[in-house]
Amino acid sequence: MNNIFEEWLSDRTLYKTLRDWNPGLAPLIVERHPKTPDDNAAFISRIICGKPGYGKSMYAYKIGAKVFWIFDGCDRVEQEEECYKQSLDAIIYRPEELFNKVKIQRKKAEPALLWVIDDGSVHVGRALFDQDRKCYRRLQSTVPTLREDVTGLLITTPKANLLAKPFREFIDEKCEIKLASSFKENRRFANHYFRRYFPDDHNFRMQLPFRDRFSSLCPQPFYSWYLTKKRKALNEYQELCDRLIALSDDTTEDDDEDAGT
């Protein structure tokens, strides 16, 4: 493990270990998490936007690892592996995974520390309304009460308007990933925007309270873990789309036969 980090620390990408990286979002999530069952539940959410390849998912993945690093009181580089495992477990793709996590937390009667809905525009995007109406309606009833089930919720998507309506109405805090310099150097900014509404509840002012600097690269084997989980979810989604297309084709053929008779 030490050899891996020595190699990355000497690399020109300026990768920082979790111990040396100090993002602004991670401590906010930990601070709002209830310390005891009697504490009031707080909630913090972000829609993480940015162009494809800019590092939205890596930022969320690393933030998750840093959140667990702070929460567990870690102080040694060797502990990063466990933090990334916990962050990987917090990543959600399909709506069914979200429903299962909600069910588990409600049985525990306490909120989880962090969930990350990755590739939100694909798995919980606007197309969900046409793909699965029952799932969409369940999402409508689940999302407004997520603050009782989790402290931190991050969703990655190229644009916020690509998400299903329940998420667009529920989360209005945005984080946008920007290039810090050239694309090849893998240096990124994560700009966090807050909406400050006026008394009329319609007009608002955008503020930029902080920005996180990070590298869009992730060391091995942590990146391989993430990529394996992501590819599995995308393959399952592709199979779902193929079934829906086949079902649509069969319905069209039946309609044509009825029209012919």
Helix segments in 33-175, DSSP class H? 56-71, 80-89, 95-108, 120-123, 128-131, 133-142, 165-170
Fold of 2-223: Rossmann fold (3.40.50)
Query: What is residue 182's predicted lDDT score, i.e. its pLDDT?
Result: 60
Whole-number Å distance between alpha carbons of 222 and 18: 13
Q: Are 170 and 143 in contact (CB under 8 A)?
A: yes
Rounded to a whole number of angstroms, the distance between the first and last alpha carbons of the chain is: 71
Whole-number Å distance between alpha carbons of 58 and 48: 11
Query: What is residue 247's predicted lDDT score, i.e. its pLDDT?
Result: 77
**Mean pLDDT in runs of 10 for the chain (261 residues)?**
45 68 93 83 91 94 96 91 96 95 92 95 90 91 92 95 91 88 76 80 75 89 95 91 77 46 41
Query: What is residue 184's predicted lDDT score, i.e. its pLDDT?
Result: 59
**Which of 60, 95, 97, 115 is closest to 226 using CA atoms?**
60
Whole-number Å distance between alpha carbons of 134 and 128: 10
Q: How far are the Cα atoms of 122, 169, 192, 195, 223 from residue 203, in angstroms, in the given order?
A: 30, 16, 19, 9, 41
* Site of tokens 């299962």: 100
Query: What is residue 14's predicted lDDT score, i.e. its pLDDT?
Result: 53
Q: What is the pTM of this model?
A: 0.85
Query: What is residue 44's predicted lDDT score, i.e. its pLDDT?
Result: 92
Q: Are 102 and 77 in contact (CB under 8 A)?
A: no
| Tokens describing residue 239 | 């199979």
